[in-house]
Structure 1
Amino acid sequence: MTETIEVSGLHKRFGATVALDGMTFTAPPGTVTGFVGPNGAGKSTTMRVILGLDRATGGTALVGGHRYPDLDRPLTHLGALIDANALHPGRSGRNHLLWMAHSQGLGAGRVDRVLEMTGMRTVARRRAGGYSLGMRQRLGISAAMLGDPPALMLDEPFNGLDPEGIVWMRSLLRDLAAEGRTVLVSSHLMAELQDIAGHVVFVGRGRVLRAATKDSLTAEFGSLEAAYLELTRGEGALR
């Protein structure tokens, strides 16, 4: 099963601040879609709207043609890493995942499989409050993969990873896309997306500036970093 992420005409305000101003793009199956733009451009807000954590004032955000909050056992459709710090510090990594698994009708065996996959098995019974940022990121990936979903959405997954972790993350994202999954990745690290993304969505001031294949962007600008600097110049948050 494949699940396309479709965002159409999203609008969102926080008081007088315009966070989303008609955000529209599609993240298709079988590729890594990079989601990039300056701080305040609307990336995290878009992801939160997709998950139903924030309510848009207009537009739609669909996963496989459905609103995420309407999905039965949603973690089996879309796995997400939005905030690696959203953990109870006194709970072990394994217990955190067991609680999530129980809510989705999943067993302890699946928890142990994702912990092994992300290299967290040996520290899984330690309290999450003692984890480094890189370990919290790996646990967040474990949670995103818990339901073996056909779509994943990851906000800055390279943050806090050491060089070995970055290589591991790069390989994981490539493999997930190669399996036919939809992979939407927000990142400020253009060098990492240069290696793994097949499609890139540049955003600024709550709207899409350009959405194109990595190859066409590289042919036009020379690199994703050069494309980012050119396309997002002056494109911060709307006020």
Structure 2
Amino acid sequence: MSGARLLEADAARLASDAGLRASALGFVTEGDLVVLAGDCALLVGALTGVPFAELSDDDSAASVARLVGGTLRVMGKDVGREEHREVLGMMPAAVAMPDDMTPLELLRWEARLATGKRRGSGALAEAALQRVGLMPLAKRRISSLGVAERKGVALAAAIVGEPPALLLDHPLQGLDERGQLWMMRALEELASRHRLLIATPRLATDGSLGAIMGAASDIVVLRHGAVVAHGPPASLLSEASTFAVTVEHGAEALGERLQRMGVALDGGPLHFSVRLKPPHGPSDVLRAAHDTGAVVVACVPLVG
């Protein structure tokens, strides 16, 4: 596949009604399968428009995230002007569905919304259900479907308009081993026809989540509203231990000391990641902080 960068941010500032903020995000992704890992709910919320309570377990944070400054683009389409909805199909982590409808009825409605046309909506709905393997359930009530089956309907809704790119938020969430195997097969098929943005809670090197990381062309890791690591999986998931560091003050002096020690840093200034190869370990980060007078409030592994 080719075309504009799948996702790029230039001094992008995000905010939610609940007061969560991300300031001056800057990155340009590479390739056609990009993973957003870590604290990415605010970014995902700005892309999907889904109320923030549906992106977290905290019902008190019910609000909408939005771009309030800078630029954020999906395949060259401006998120601030909502142009990206022309090219991006979306599967939120939590999807509210009308229990009294069937998957086929819901997908027909989604097809009309995606294309603006009534004619042909039935064929598009059936094709989407066929692609995710749910045609046998097309006429069952949604209320009778399990977690994996509902997620399959949500996935079909994301692809029904045949968008060139898809955003899949926590696609493995709530799935048992069998459901994860089904989702992995679906992702493999989708990757042959769509560019994929996949949001995950963390980096991983094993299991289904690790397989997604390994297949990615690029990974962006966010923590506390900042990009703390960005690069290909070969870089972020190598033998080096990657830690997310949060500094209350003294970040510049600490960063300079770590770089003199040969430690690779990414992100900043107050939230960044360090890649520690032997003989260095997290204790060396804390020792460097003590020597420079920096106050480190967190130093936690990114991969796990």
TM-score range, shorter chain: 0.7 to 0.9
- Residue of structure 1 in register with 2:8 after alignment: 6
The number of aligned residues is 224
- Residue of structure 1 in register with 2:43 after alignment: 46
> For 1:90 and 1:234, how far apart are their aligned partners in 2?
47
Change (3 A) 1:26 1:171: farther
- For the 8 Å contact 1:9–1:23, the answer to whether it is kept is yes
TM-score for the superposition, normalised by structure 1 = 0.79
- Residue of structure 2 in register with 1:67 after alignment: 78
Change (3 A) 1:25 1:235: farther
- For the 8 Å contact 1:8–1:60, the answer to whether it is kept is yes
Which structure has the bigger radius of gyration? 2
- Residue of structure 1 in register with 2:258 after alignment: none
Matched, 1:183 2:193: no
Change (3 A) 1:55 1:33: same
> For 1:83 and 1:159, how far apart are their aligned partners in 2?
7
- For the 8 Å contact 1:22–1:206, the answer to whether it is kept is no
Q: Which runs of 5+ in 1 are unaligned?
A: none
- For the 8 Å contact 1:50–1:62, the answer to whether it is kept is no
> For 1:235 and 1:109, how far apart are their aligned partners in 2?
52
Q: Of 93, 99, 102, which aligns to 2:112?
A: 102
> For 2:243 and 2:98, how far apart are their aligned partners in 1?
36
- Residue of structure 1 in register with 2:19 after alignment: 17
Percent of matched pairs sharing the same residue = 23
- Residue of structure 1 in register with 2:91 after alignment: 81
Matched, 1:194 2:198: no
Change (3 A) 1:148 1:234: farther
User: Which deviations, in whole Å up to 9, do the C-alpha atoms of 1:141-171 show, x marking residues without a partner?
Assistant: 1111112221111110011223233223223
**Greater displacement, 158-167 / 187-196:** 187-196
Matched, 1:90 2:100: yes
Q: Of 48, 53, 58, which aligns to 2:69?
A: 58
The residue type equivalent to 1:194 in the other structure is G
Please identify which structure carries the higher strand content. 2
> For 2:111 and 2:18, how far apart are their aligned partners in 1?
39
TM-score for the superposition, normalised by structure 2 = 0.64
Q: Which runs of 5+ in 2 are unaligned?
A: 51-64, 246-272, 275-296
